[in-house]
Amino acid sequence: MHNPFLEAVDESTDLELIALAVGGDRAALERLVLRHQAWIYNIALRMVFHPQDAEEVTQEVLIKALTRLSTFRHESRFRTWLYRIAANHVLNMRRREGETTMLNFSGYADAINEIPDLELPDPRIVPVDVPLLVEEAKLSCSLGMLLCLDRQQRLVFILGEIFGVVDTVGGELLDLSADHFRQLLSRARRDLYRFLHGQCGLVDARNPCRCPKKTAGFVRAGHVDPERLQFAADHRQRVADAAPEVVRTLESASDRHAAALFREHPFFEPHEPLALLRRLLDDDGFARSLRLD
């Protein structure tokens, strides 16, 4: 998979596709969207939690980028230009449902602890394999933790810790110095890992919270729907495979374990990735705005 966040990235294919797309080549525009849409979607999902909201945010970013594509003047890398649009959008967009329900780490811990510890569901009465339900509970819980960070912390953590973006690139995308990006990443890691070390049994076996013990409670509370899994469906790869491996200085082995928890998440694929683009291109006004009619 093309990784746009590699420090040394060959953008020649992107630039060729941009030239063809601006010249009216719809196939080139589709290829350009497919190269970047999944990465934008994976940022959006971790910013807003719900896949349907992430799809909407991704569409909003792509519409902004595509309608400005003819203004790209090669004064910066295309990666920087595109992901600055994405970063600015997710930092300033209207609040989605997931963001309105999460408050802070203390409240999140209380909410988890209020879920009773129960035996795993009877495999004869649930429509999916029980291990898949446990994985759904784990992913839902850990993705929810990200919402306890403020938006800037969340985005810096997603870029720097989950996707392994180096500080120079991260600073470019957020219009920060590399030093400032590192400081923000350090604070986000500190706040999130402090919570994990005190709460999560996946990071520290001495902690009481275990995904299997909470799964049935998550189902009862409506946080996990066995009929409609959001996160634990089949995925072709994980973040650790899609993103580069970046060696960072972490305070402890448990910090490295905490980082791995997020990098082992699935790399999610958008639903029907080209459907929106093709609907837009069928609209004469939008096509004219792209000079593709």
How many structural domains is the chain composed of?
Answer: 2
Q: What is the CA radius of gyration of the chain?
A: 20
Q: CA–CA distance from 148 to each of 8, 156, 184 (Å)?
A: 32, 13, 15
* 11 or 177, which is more confident: 177
Instruction: Kindly state whether residues 112 and 250 are assigned to the same domain.
Output: yes
The domain of 154 spans: 102-226+232-267
Instruction: Kindly state whether residues 133 and 173 are assigned to the same domain.
Output: yes
Instruction: Kindly state whether residues 189 and 253 are assigned to the same domain.
Output: yes
Distance CA 202, CA 200 (A): 5
Instruction: Kindly state whether residues 61 and 75 are assigned to the same domain.
Output: yes
Work out the pLDDT band at 230, boundaries 50, 70, 90: very high
Read off the pLDDT of residues 85-104 as tens digits, 9 standing for 90 and up.
999 999 999 998 888 876 79
Tokens matching residue 63: 């519409």
Instruction: Kindly state whether residues 69 and 156 are assigned to the same domain.
Output: no
Work out the pLDDT band at 52, boundaries 50, 70, 90: very high
Work out the pLDDT band at 122, boundaries 50, 70, 90: very high
Tell me 168's DSSP state: H
Instruction: Kindly state whether residues 113 and 239 are assigned to the same domain.
Output: yes
Burial of 88 (C-beta count, 10 Å sphere; 0-12/13-18/19+): middle
Read off the pLDDT of residues 233-291 as tens digits, 9 standing for 90 and up.
766 688 988 887 665 655 555 677 788 899 999 999 888 777 877 877 777 666 666 66
Instruction: Kindly state whether residues 79 and 34 are assigned to the same domain.
Output: yes
CATH number at residue 6: 1.10.1740.10
Check residue 20 and give its pLDDT: 93
Flag whether pLDDT at 293 surpasses 90: no
Instruction: Kindly state whether residues 140 and 281 are assigned to the same domain.
Output: no
Tell me 158's DSSP state: I
Check residue 252 and give its pLDDT: 57
Percentage above 90 pLDDT, the chain: 66
Instruction: Kindly state whether residues 119 and 60 are assigned to the same domain.
Output: no
Check residue 292 and give its pLDDT: 54
Instruction: Kindly state whether residues 55 and 157 are assigned to the same domain.
Output: no
Instruction: Kindly state whether residues 68 and 141 are assigned to the same domain.
Output: no
Instruction: Kindly state whether residues 276 and 212 are assigned to the same domain.
Output: no
Q: What is the pTM of this model?
A: 0.92
State the Cα torsion 1-42-165-36 to the nearest 10°: 50
Check residue 279 and give its pLDDT: 78
In the chain, DSSP finds a helix count (H) and a strand count (E) of: 15, 0
Query: At 179, which helix (H) or strand (E)?
Result: helix 178-199
Query: At 21, which helix (H) or strand (E)?
Result: helix 12-22
